[in-house]
């Protein structure tokens, strides 16, 4: 397949200045030299992205995600290595960048569109669509400085997606506007996917990555950790995220240290956790007779855990995923269970589904333990899996309880209750 983006051993160095000499005297005294510290935002990162792929870049704050995206976009030049992009590229890195507050929304569409490479005729042809998508018909001739922040980013997104590139770069801009507008943004991204465009997305949301990405590149402190299918990459990212909260062990010898994506050895971290999830299992009737449940039957998921330090307010979260890694259900424990103090020792949490309404398919289960602030303490991904067989004729994702009442012609007025299907 054609390689749309080829990242070859890219490194990027910045200078961090801790002092600034402002006066002429200071500059003369120090000979014009301003002390600085070198900071490597990226170190020897390589990746191949084929045409039509949707690839996510995932990592903690400061891991080099946006720096890599800017190197791909050509905004930053790598200190080492090179990036080759084949096809027309559009970057949505900062919505509304280049907007002039004194100009109207109309004028800014033409200004921003030209910066993105559109000709005046192309903007003329797409103008009504841009305004309609941003939902700014009444305000398009007002100065942008009077726009709310939501109006501002809606217009920026609308102009950006009006370009029809071969390669689209998206940096943390899929959460703009209200929930309804966010869905419009996602619909447009999915349309790009159906059109076979190459998309690279940077986000802090693993669930978003799992939902829209084929492959995810995980970065940690400027180094490539892995580039793998979304589910596997997210599992590795979360493991790194959990381990980062614990003390690092002394550096191991080179032959024992962990190798990350061909990079230099990195420190091995200890895995002593406040709450450690040990195993997850599914339990249902007739488990000895068959390896599946039927739609509507009950099923329980048990999670065994170990507590090393007394804690309170731990939440246990369960997520059910389909075979493509898409989320079909996700929920945390609630009420008294969430606030229950846990002493040192082993325990278990059980998620009880009185009626599993999913239809045919094989599903996996991911379990997390979180503190009251939402910080992940540990995760099992995957924890276990189960299979559902639908004995009925319904198709789709879930089997919803329903009854139908039909009133024959001539039998009188249709009762309100009879018109409701449950």
Long-range contacts formed by 159-162: CB under 8 A, 24+ apart: 159/108, 159/109, 159/112, 159/113, 159/116, 159/130, 160/90, 160/92, 160/95, 160/116, 161/92, 161/133, 161/185, 161/188, 162/113, 162/118, 162/123, 162/126, 162/129, 162/130, 162/133
Assess whether 177 and 318 both reside in one domain: no
Residue 380 and residue 316: Cα distance in Å, rounded? 11
pLDDT of residue 338: 62
Assess whether 293 and 379 both reside in one domain: yes
Bond before 273 cis per omega within 30 degrees:
no
Q: Does residue 258 sit within a domain?
A: no
Assess whether 213 and 283 both reside in one domain: no
Q: Which secondary structure element, helix H or strand E, spans residue 84, and what is its range?
A: strand 80-85
Give all strands of the β-sheet with 89-92 in edge-to-edge order: 89-92, 167-171, 198-202, 54-58, 215-220, 223-229
Sequence-distant (6+) residues with CB within 8 A of 209 are 56, 58, 201, 203, 216, 230, 233, 234
What DSSP state is assigned to residue 414? P
Q: What is the CATH number for 67? A: 3.40.50.300
Q: Does residue 95 sit within a domain?
A: no
Count of CB atoms situated within 10 Å of the CB of 52: 16
Residue 30 and residue 24: Cα distance in Å, rounded? 10
Domain of residue 24, residue span: 3-88+165-217
If one counts the domains in the chain, the total is 2
pLDDT tens, the chain, 422 aa long = 789 999 999 999 988 776 676 666 666 666 656 677 788 999 999 999 999 999 999 988 888 998 999 999 888 999 999 999 998 888 777 766 678 889 999 999 998 888 777 889 999 999 999 999 888 999 999 999 898 878 888 888 888 888 878 888 888 766 666 677 778 888 888 888 888 899 999 887 787 788 888 899 999 889 999 998 888 888 888 877 776 654 333 333 333 333 333 333 333 344 467 888 999 999 999 888 889 999 999 999 999 999 988 887 788 889 998 887 788 898 876 654 666 778 889 989 999 999 999 988 889 999 988 887 777 888 888 889 999 998 887 888 888 888 888 888 877 665 555 444 43
What token pair was written down for 133? 């998508």
Q: What is the CATH number for 283? A: 2.70.50.60
Residue 105 and residue 154: Cα distance in Å, rounded? 11
Assess whether 174 and 299 both reside in one domain: no
Residue 85 and residue 4: Cα distance in Å, rounded? 6
Assess whether 176 and 318 both reside in one domain: no
Sequence-distant (6+) residues with CB within 8 A of 336 are none
Residue 68 and residue 211: Cα distance in Å, rounded? 22
Q: Does residue 74 sit within a domain?
A: yes
Assess whether 82 and 206 both reside in one domain: yes
Count of CB atoms situated within 10 Å of the CB of 254: 9
Assess whether 181 and 282 both reside in one domain: no
Pairing of strands 80-85, 89-92: unpaired
Q: Does residue 146 sit within a domain?
A: no
Model-wide pTM > 0.75:
no
Residue 221 and residue 192: Cα distance in Å, rounded? 31
Residue 215 and residue 99: Cα distance in Å, rounded? 33
Assess whether 209 and 312 both reside in one domain: no
DSSP one-letter string for 202-245:
E-S-HHHHHHH-SEEEEEETTEEEEEEEHHHHHHHHHHHHHHTT
Domain end (from 217, 241, 258): 217
């Amino acid at each position: 397949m054609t390689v749309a983006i080829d990242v070859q051993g890219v490194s990027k160095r910045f200078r961090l200045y801790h002092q600034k000499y402002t006066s002429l005297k200071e500059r003369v005294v120090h000979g014009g030299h301003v002390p600085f510290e070198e900071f490597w935002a990226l170190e020897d990162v390589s990746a191949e992205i084929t045409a039509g792929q949707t690839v996510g870049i995932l990592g903690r704050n400061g891991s080099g995600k946006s720096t890599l995206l800017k190197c791909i976009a050509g905004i930053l030049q790598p200190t080492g290595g090179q990036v080759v992009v084949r096809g027309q590229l559009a970057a949505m890195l900062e919505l509304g960048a280049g907007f002039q507050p004194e100009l109207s929304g109309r004028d800014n569409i033409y200004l921003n569109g030209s910066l993105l490479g559109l000709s005046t005729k192309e903007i003329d042809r797409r103008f009504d669509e841009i305004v309609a998508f941003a939902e700014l018909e009444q305000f398009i001739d007002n100065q942008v400085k009077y726009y709310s922040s939501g109006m501002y980013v809606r217009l920026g997104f609308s102009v950006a997606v009006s370009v029809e590139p071969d390669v689209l770069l998206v940096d943390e801009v899929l959460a703009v506007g209200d929930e309804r507008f966010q869905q419009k943004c996602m619909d447009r991204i999915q349309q790009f996917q159906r059109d076979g465009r190459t998309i690279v997305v940077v986000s802090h949301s693993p669930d978003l990555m799992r939902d829209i990405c084929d492959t995810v590149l995980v970065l940690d402190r400027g180094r490539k950790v892995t580039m793998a299918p979304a589910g596997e990459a997210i599992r590795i990212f979360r493991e790194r995220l959990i381990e980062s909260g614990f003390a690092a062990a002394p550096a191991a010898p080179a032959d024992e240290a962990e190798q990350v994506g061909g990079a230099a050895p990195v420190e091995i971290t200890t895995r002593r956790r406040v709450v450690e999830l040990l195993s997850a299992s599914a339990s249902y009737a007739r488990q000895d007779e068959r390896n599946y449940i039927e739609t509507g039957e009950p099923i329980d998921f048990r999670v065994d855990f170990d507590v090393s330090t007394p804690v309170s307010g731990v939440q246990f979260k369960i997520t059910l995923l389909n075979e493509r890694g898409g989320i079909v259900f996700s929920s945390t424990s609630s009420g008294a269970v969430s606030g229950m103090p846990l002493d040192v020792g082993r325990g278990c949490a059980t998620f009880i589904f009185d009626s599993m309404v999913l239809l045919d398919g094989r599903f996996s289960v991911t379990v997390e333990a979180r503190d009251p602030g939402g910080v992940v303490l540990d995760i099992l991904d995957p924890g276990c899996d189960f299979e559902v067989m639908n004995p009925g004729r319904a198709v789709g994702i879930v089997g919803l309880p329903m009854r139908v009442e039909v009133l024959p012609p001539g039998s009188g007025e249709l009762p309100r209750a009879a018109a409701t299907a449950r």
